[in-house]
Chains A and B, each alone.
Chain A
Amino acid sequence: MPSTANTTNVPAPQKVLILFAHPAPHRSQANRPMLRAAAHLPGVTLIDLYAHYPDFAIDIDAEQARLREHDVVIFQFPLYWYSTPSILKEWQDLVLEYGFAYGQDGDALHDKLFLCAVTAGGLASAYKSGEGRNKSLRELLMPLEHMATLCGMQYLPPFALFGSRTAPEEGRIASHVSDWTRLLRALTRHELPISSLQDLPLLNEALHQQEKEH
């Protein structure tokens, strides 16, 4: 059900770039299966930032070229102190240059889609907006949302796994990975109703609703 593009032509497949940031992937039980699932999908490029730049010497030109080649940019990371692991911040600081991503002539990212795929140790109840001091995940990731907006990108709500440490024994990994695969497929095939998703707190529920409609 293509919804964004109203053209009668079949749109070219969207190219998805996943920028993965986990400083200790060998200990990650949620992100590794997600990586495995994404690795062989057509149209998906997977970049392990900590593996590419163990010394944080990010190759700005290469990263910018990569961004130009893709239509969808995804940050995949575990939530550290309500934010990204440090290399993703370094990546933003270096790669999103004036004149490239923003400012005069800085339109390289215009109209691309941006979203975060987050795993969080805390339970879903800890990220309910309005309960005590709690903020929703989408509220906490506001700096990234602003980054996307300033760069002229379309922002999608985060795709999240909560309680990630207990997820394996609770058997929640498999369903999360299949949601993740479905999301990536839908992105490459233009099948997501972008405008109706943009105001949701999380992408997860919408995926399930969409599945029922199909």
Chain B
Amino acid sequence: MTGALFQAFIYLCAAVIAVPLAKRLGLGSVLGYLLAGIVIGPVSGLVGSETQAIQHVAEFGVVMMLFLVGLELQPRLLWEMRHRLFGLGGLQVVLTSALITGLGMLLKQPWETALTIGMILSLSSTAIVLQTLSEKGLNDSEGGRTAFSVLLFQDLAVIPMLAVIPLLAVAVSGEPAAGAASHESFTLVANLNGAERGAVMLAAIGLVLVGGHYMARPLFRYIASSRLREIFTAFALLLVIGIALLMTLVELSPALGTFLAGMVLANSEFRHELESDIEPFKGLLLGLFFITVGAGIDFAVLFDDFARIMALTVAVIILKGGVLYLLGLLFGLPSRSRWLLTLSLAQAGEFGFVLLSFSQQINALPAELLSKLSLVVALSMLLTPGLFLIYDRFAQSLPAKTKAKESGPIDTHGEVIVAGSGRFGQVVNRLLMASGVKTVVLDYEIAMIDMLGKFGIHSFYGDASRPDLLIAAGVESAKAVVIAIDDRQRAVEMTRFIKRNYPHVKVLARAYDVNHLYLLRQAGVDVAVRELFDASLSTGKEVLKALGLHPYRVEKMATAFRHHDEVGLNDLYGEWDEHQSISENKAILARAREHGKTLSSMLESDRTQFSAHSSRGWTPTETPAKKNDAEETGQ
């Protein structure tokens, strides 16, 4: 127990120290994690061989990341990017593998070994690249999207590679790859032939797609109706782990399975809630993964053969970058996007590690070569933040023909977030939608979301007052947030959170009463509207009309009343704020007194100056002295 705690302490400590430091130095979080790993591993020896075991757990971060990527990627968008996915992605994998195979054969490796190495090194690091792209806000740029489609294809390509490598191993070692199926403790397809195997795999994928489409939503709805936050989180984790398990059982990539599941759920109302639930787990696990990569670097092997390993690493980066650059030209990318593609994907990746450990289990590669290749993969990943720095320094000035503005596959956020879709939020949202404003509606009442769905309004499940959900819903890029929830305390907290962290986002809130309105104002709200004021005023107007007053006079009186009320509200706010600083209780009492004052001053003005004010301008206060003047104005 103490040992486990000590390890956890070391890992967390390293991350907490190194990552903010690396970010401050402009190196990005990934390099921070890698350096933290190097410090606690090979440099100080605080952690040892157990990093291997931890890495297997941490690889799950990649699986979660692909689930999140799937969530952000609706099937329609995937279809739109099919040319880049299969054309560019496919060519990248095939060309890079072929070139590295050729290089390997030049270095006197048998072609089977060379091909295995080629496939392993053709893969790039989804984890590093996606993390860095989103940190730098390049997700939605043309280069970022192209890089994403290449990564996606690589993740898919892992599956056939896992099937091909054992065949190559047989050729090399001359004996049947008995360990091929035993690298996992248990699978469903171990004793099946090819066709049956394929059928089982297809069935598993079908289960994920159909199950995700038809079963997940009723289940989510059932769990959401319990209103227990942690159970929803538990279910989200269960879903991801369950799918990963299913995929492992049929020897498919867990990343592929969760990616598909994410995509199926991309259109569901639970998308943002799922995102914000899985996100922290993903972040921690990925960080852990990067730390283990850093910790796993074997300095002994590295220093024994330093020049050769460095040369190989640089050769791999140049070769991969060269292929990507040529493909960028071939597919007509503008130069800035071409350089982003080239520099971001030139490293080998974590799936390379996965394939390497797989090759180790089935003896597809000699042990000495394996340790060197591990180093090449790790070093190339370690150099990636450096390549991004090169992009930042030099490529930013290059022309980018297509601006990042057009809607991309990874971003589907709205201009305005409407939090709460009850009677209040609905009307706001309807007006916005009718005016062509894109909105994201959040509500924690699942029945409400169902009801809105029937009217064709797409809304998401979740407690809008939670910061992480707001972030998942895209508060950073939103122009405004409408707080239409009926929980007063949370509305104030939300306002404070948004204005503190995203001061550029306008916050418009529903206030319960004057008291609440002041609290919102103190929290920095841009506009607060008392929820019943307009309805009450309208009713008052109808009463006056029913009493026989001329409708236009009533209109003018109500307008004057409104303006007078607003002036009073602003005046009293100054006094109220003074009392607020003394203590919470006294402030409430003071506010109550002020409230009474507002009311009496309002009534007073109603009797005396008010009526005159509303008709000013049409009734001269005294008889004009010069008759000709008065005639001309038609009084």
* A interface with B by C-beta (< 8 Å): 55-57, 59-60, 93-99, 102-104, 106, 146, 150
Flag if B630 contacts A60 (CB, 8 Å): no
When distances are taken between beta carbons in the complex, the residues of chain B under 8 Å from A146 are 632
The reply to whether A103 and B625 contact each other, CB–CB distance below 8 Å, is: yes
Look across to chain B and name the residue whose beta carbon is closest to the beta carbon of A106: B629
> Which chain B residue shows the least CB distance to A102?
B629
Q: Which residues of B contact A99 (CB under 8 A)?
A: 620-622
> In the bound complex, what is the Cα–Cα distance between A94 and B630 (angstroms)?
15
Do A104 and B626 have beta carbons less than 8 Å apart? Answer: yes
Closest residue of A by beta carbon distance from B632: A150
Q: For residue A104, which residue of chain B has the nearest CB? A: B625
Q: Are A57 and B560 in contact (CB under 8 A)?
A: yes
Q: What are 21 A-B pairs at a CB distance below 8 A?
A: A55-B559, A56-B559, A59-B563, A60-B616, A93-B618, A94-B616, A95-B617, A96-B633, A97-B616, A97-B617, A97-B620, A98-B621, A98-B622, A98-B633, A99-B620, A103-B620, A103-B630, A104-B625, A104-B626, A106-B629, A146-B632
Q: Chain A: interface secondary structure?
A: loop
Nearest 4 interchain pairs by C-beta: A94-B617, A98-B620, A104-B625, A57-B559
Say yes or no: B626 contacts A103, CB within 8 Å: yes
The complex places the Cα of A104 from the Cα of B622 at a distance, in Å, of 10
B366 proximal to A (CB < 8 A): no
Which chain B residues (538-589) contact chain A, with CB distance < 8 Å?
A: 556, 559-560, 562-563
B399 interface hit (Cβ, 8 Å): no
Q: Are A93 and B622 in contact (CB under 8 A)?
A: no
Any A CB within 8 A of the CB of B48: no
Contact with A along B472-501 (1 / 0, CB 8 A): 000000000000000000000000000000
Minimal beta-carbon separation of A141 from chain B (angstroms): 16
Give CA–CA (A59, B624) in the complex, Å.
Answer: 23
State how many angstroms separate the Cβ of A77 from the closest Cβ of chain B: 20
Q: Which residue of B lies closest to A97 (CB)?
A: B617
B604-635 to A contact mask, C-beta < 8 Å, 1/0: 00000000000011101110111001101101
Q: What chain A residues lie within 8 Å of B629 (beta carbons)?
A: 98, 102-103, 106, 150
Q: Are A98 and B630 in contact (CB under 8 A)?
A: yes
Residues of A within 8 A of B630 (CB): 98, 103
Contact A60 B559 (CB under 8 A): no
Instruction: Give the residues in chain B near A103, CB-CB below 8 Å.
Output: 620, 624-626, 629-630
12 further interface pairs, Cβ-Cβ under 8 Å (given A57-B562, A103-B624): A55-B559, A56-B559, A93-B617, A93-B618, A94-B616, A97-B616, A97-B617, A98-B622, A99-B620, A99-B622, A103-B629, A104-B622
Contacts of A106 in B (CB 8 A): 629
Q: Give the distance to chain B from A144, nearest Cβ to Cβ, in Å.
A: 13
Q: Give the Cβ gap from B418 to chain A, nearest Cβ, in Å.
A: 23
Chain A neighbourhood of B633, CB < 8 A: 96, 98, 102, 150
Residues of A within 8 A of B622 (CB): 98-99, 104
- Give min CB distance, A93 to chain B, whole Å: 6
B36 vs chain A, min Cβ distance (A): 53
For B624, what are the chain A residues with a Cβ–Cβ distance below 8 Å?
98, 103-104
A95, B618: Cα distance in complex, Å: 10
Nearest B-chain residue to A93, judged by Cβ? B617
Q: Complex: how many Å from CA A93 to CA B635?
A: 10
Give Cα A23–Cα B474 distance, bound, in whole angstroms. 34
Complex alpha-carbon distance, A146 and B556, angstroms:
28
Closest approach, in angstroms, between the C-beta of A198 and any C-beta of chain B? 21
Closest to A90 in B: B617
Give the residue name and chain of the B residue nearest to A98 (CB): B620
Contacts of B618 in A (CB 8 A): 93-94
Tell me the bound Cα distance from A104 to B620 in angstroms: 12
Chain A residue with the shortest CB-CB distance to B620: A98
**Separation of A95 and B629 alpha carbons in the complex (Å):** 16
Contacts of A59 in B (CB 8 A): 563
Q: CA A96 – CA B616 in complex, angstroms?
A: 11
- Encoded as 1 (CB less than 8 Å from any A CB) or 0, chain B from 161 to 179 comes to 0000000000000000000
CB-CB < 8 A to A97: which residues of B? 616-617, 620
In the complex, A93→B560 CA distance in Å?
A: 17
> Least Cβ distance of A76 to chain B in Å?
22
Q: How far is the CA of A94 from the CA of B622 in the complex (A)?
A: 16
Q: Mark B379-413, 1 if CB is under 8 A from A, else 0.
A: 00000000000000000000000000000000000
Chain A residue at minimum C-beta to C-beta distance from B634: A93
B559 proximity list for chain A (CB < 8 A): 55-57
Which residue on chain B has the smallest CB distance to residue A94?
A: B617
Q: Which residue of B lies closest to A91 (CB)?
A: B617
What are the residues of chain B within 8 A of A96 when measuring CB–CB?
Answer: 633
- B617 adjacent to A57 (CB under 8 Å): no
Name the contact of B617 in the complex, choosing from A60, A102, A104, A150 (C-beta under 8 A). Answer: A60
Q: Which residue of B lies closest to A101 (CB)?
A: B633
Q: Whole-angstrom distance from the CB of A10 to the nearest CB of chain B?
A: 36
Q: What is the 8 Å Cβ interface bit string for chain B, positions 255-285, against chain A (1 contact, 0 not)? A: 0000000000000000000000000000000
Closest to B628 in A: A150
Task: Please indicate the chain A residues that have their CB under 8 angstroms from the CB of B562 in the complex.
Answer: 57
In the bound complex, what is the Cα–Cα distance between A57 and B565 (angstroms)?
14
- Of listed B562, B617, B625, residue having the most chain A CB within 10 A: B617
Q: Which residues of B contact A60 (CB under 8 A)?
A: 616-617
Please report the C-alpha to C-alpha distance between residue A32 and residue B307 in the assembled complex, in whole angstroms: 67
Q: Which residues of B contact A95 (CB under 8 A)?
A: 617
Which residues of chain A are within 8 angstroms of B617 by Cβ–Cβ distance? 60, 93-95, 97
In the bound complex, how far is the Cα of B633 from the Cα of A96, in angstroms? 10
A104 to B627, CA, bound (A): 10
B9 to chain A minimum Cβ distance, whole angstroms, is 60
Nearest Cβ on chain B to A171's Cβ, whole angstroms: 29
Chain B nearest CB: distance from A87 CB in Å? 14
A150 CA to B629 CA in the complex, in Å?
A: 7
Determine the distance from Cα of A95 to Cα of B617 in the docked complex, in whole angstroms: 7
A57 touching B563 by the CB < 8 A rule?
A: yes
Tell me the bound Cα distance from A146 to B628 in angstroms. Answer: 13
How far apart sit A97 and B617, CA to CA, in the bound complex (Å)? 6
Output the least CB separation between B176 and chain A (Å): 75
For the complex, what is the distance from the CA of A153 to the CA of B563, rounded to whole Å?
32
| Distance of A65 from chain B, by nearest CB (Å) | 15
A105 to chain B, nearest CB (A): 9
For the complex formed, measure the closest distance between the CB of B310 and the CB atoms of chain A, giving whole angstroms: 59
Residues of B within 8 Å of A56, CB to CB, are 559
User: How far, in whole Å, are A94 and B560 apart by their CA atoms in the complex?
Assistant: 14
Chain B residue with the shortest CB-CB distance to A58: B617
Question: How many Å from the CB of A17 to the closest CB on chain B?
Answer: 19
